[in-house]
Amino acid sequence: MGGSTVPVWVALVLGVSSSVVALAAIAAAEVGDCRRLKHEREMQLGEIEEQRWSSLRDERIRAYSALTRLTKRMDVDTRNPTLPAVAEAHSEVDPDREPGAKRGCRSVVSDVGSRVVA
C-alpha cells in the first residue's frame, strides 16, 4: 500500500493552530482598543483641563479689568461708596494665588491712597 499516514499529533496541531491564531488576533485587537481608549480619555481630560484654565484666566482678566476701572477714579475715603466694589474686585483677583499680584495690588492701593484721583 502506498498510502501515506499522517500522525495524529500533526492533525491536532493543524486543527488547533487556526484557533490559536484567532485567539492571538482577538487579544491583540483588545490590547489595541484599550490603548486607544486610554489615549482618548487622556486627550479629553487634557481638553477639559485646558478649558478650565482658559475660563479661570478669562475670569481673572475680567476681575483685573474691574479692579483697574474702579481704582482709576477711586477716592480713598472710607465713606466712599465704591469701596465695597473695590473690595469685591480684590477678592475675585485672589492675590495669594497669583505670583506678583499681591505686590501689584499693594502698589495700586498705596498709589491710590497717596493721592486723590479725580
Residues 59-83 have a mean pLDDT of 71
Q: How large is the C-alpha radius of gyration of the chain? A: 35
Domain ranges of the chain: 8-114
Residues 6+ apart with CB under 8 A from 59: 92
Q: How confident is the model at residue 67 (pLDDT cuts 50, 70, 90)?
A: confident
pLDDT higher for 82 or 101? 82
- Per-residue pLDDT at 63: 82
Q: How many helices (H) and strands (E) does the chain have?
A: 3, 0
> How far is Cα of residue 94 from the mean position of the Cα atoms in its chain?
20
For residue 117, the 8-state DSSP code is -
Tens digits of residue pLDDT in 28-39: 999 999 999 999
